[in-house]
Structure 1
Amino acid sequence: MGGQTAYTPRRSVLYMPGSNERALEKAKTLPVDALILDLEDAVAPDAKEGARENVCAAAVSGEYGNREVTIRVNGTGTQWHDADLAAAAQAGPAGVVVPKVGSADEVRSLVSALEAAGAPEHTRLWAMIETPEAILNVREIAAASPRLAVLVMGTNDLVKELRADHVPGRGPLVTSLQLSLLAARESGIAILDGVYNDVKDAEGFEAECVQGRDFGFDGKTLIHPGQVEVCNSTFAPSEAAVADARGILEAWEAGAGSGVVTHNGRMIENLHVEIAERVIATHDVIAGRR
Structure 2
Amino acid sequence: MARIARPRRSVLYMPGSNTRALEKAKTLAADVLILDLEDAVSPEAKLEARANVCAAVQAGGFGGRELLIRVNGFDTPWGHDDIRAAAAAQPHGILLPKVESAASVRAAEKIMIEGGAGPDVGLWCMMETPRGILRAEEIAGATPRLHGFVMGTSDLAKDLHAHHTAMRLPMLPSLAICLLAARAEGLAIVDGVYLDLKDDEGFRLSCQQGLELGFDGKTLIHPNQIAGANELFAPSPADIDLARKFIAGFEAAKAEGKGVAVVDGKLVEALHVENARRLVSLSDAIAALAQE
Structure-1-length-normalised TM-score: 0.96
Partner in structure 2 of residue 236 of structure 1: 234
**8 Å Cα contact 1:5-1:188 kept in structure 2:** no
Distance, in Å, in 1 between the alignment partners of 2:227 and 2:41 is 26
1:255 paired to 2:253? yes
**8 Å Cα contact 2:88-2:116 kept in structure 1:** yes
Partner in structure 2 of residue 50 of structure 1: 48
Give aligned pairs, total.
288
| 1:261 partner letter | A
SS at match of 2:177: helix
1:203 paired to 2:201? yes
**8 Å Cα contact 1:59-1:70 kept in structure 2:** no
Deviation at 1:5, TM superposition (A): 4.9
How big is each residue's C-alpha offset from its partner over 1:74-123, in whole Å with a ceiling of 9 and x where there is no partner?
11111111221111111111111111000111111111111122212121
Partner in structure 1 of residue 275 of structure 2: 275
Written as runs of structure 1 = structure 2, the 5 A alignment for 1:1-290 is 5-256=3-254, 257-258=257-258, 260-290=260-290
| 1:287 partner letter | A
Distance, in Å, in 2 between the alignment partners of 1:121 and 1:5 is 11
Distance, in Å, in 1 between the alignment partners of 2:225 and 2:57 is 23
Q: Percent identity?
A: 53
Distance, in Å, in 1 between the alignment partners of 2:260 and 2:104 is 50
| 1:207 partner letter | L
**8 Å Cα contact 2:29-2:226 kept in structure 1:** yes
Deviation at 1:259, TM superposition (A): 5.4
How big is each residue's C-alpha offset from its partner over 1:26-69, in whole Å with a ceiling of 9 and x where there is no partner?
10000111101111111111111111110000110111111111
**8 Å Cα contact 1:262-1:268 kept in structure 2:** yes
| 1:15 partner letter | Y
Distance, in Å, in 2 between the alignment partners of 1:5 and 1:85 is 21
CA RMSD after TM alignment: 1.4
**8 Å Cα contact 2:34-2:69 kept in structure 1:** yes
**8 Å Cα contact 2:208-2:232 kept in structure 1:** yes
**8 Å Cα contact 1:242-1:279 kept in structure 2:** yes
Cα distance, 1:62–1:260 mapped onto 2, change above 3 Å? closer
**8 Å Cα contact 1:194-1:220 kept in structure 2:** yes
Distance, in Å, in 2 between the alignment partners of 1:117 and 1:268 is 49
Deviation at 1:238, TM superposition (A): 0.6
| 2:72 partner letter | N
Distance, in Å, in 2 between the alignment partners of 1:288 and 1:242 is 15
Cα distance, 1:255–1:41 mapped onto 2, change above 3 Å? same
SS at match of 1:255: helix
Distance, in Å, in 1 between the alignment partners of 2:259 and 2:206 is 41
Deviation at 1:271, TM superposition (A): 1.0
SS at match of 1:36: strand
Cα distance, 1:273–1:167 mapped onto 2, change above 3 Å? same
Stretch deviating more after TM superposition (116-125 or 185-194): 116-125
Deviation at 1:258, TM superposition (A): 4.2
How big is each residue's C-alpha offset from its partner over 1:165-197, in whole Å with a ceiling of 9 and x where there is no partner?
100010001010011000000011111111111
Cα distance, 1:91–1:5 mapped onto 2, change above 3 Å? closer
Stretch deviating more after TM superposition (256-265 or 160-169): 256-265
Deviation at 1:255, TM superposition (A): 2.6
Distance, in Å, in 2 between the alignment partners of 1:262 and 1:87 is 54
Over 4 Å off, 4+ runs: none
**8 Å Cα contact 1:13-1:32 kept in structure 2:** yes
Stretch deviating more after TM superposition (110-119 or 247-256): 247-256
Structure 2 runs not aligned, ≥5 long: none
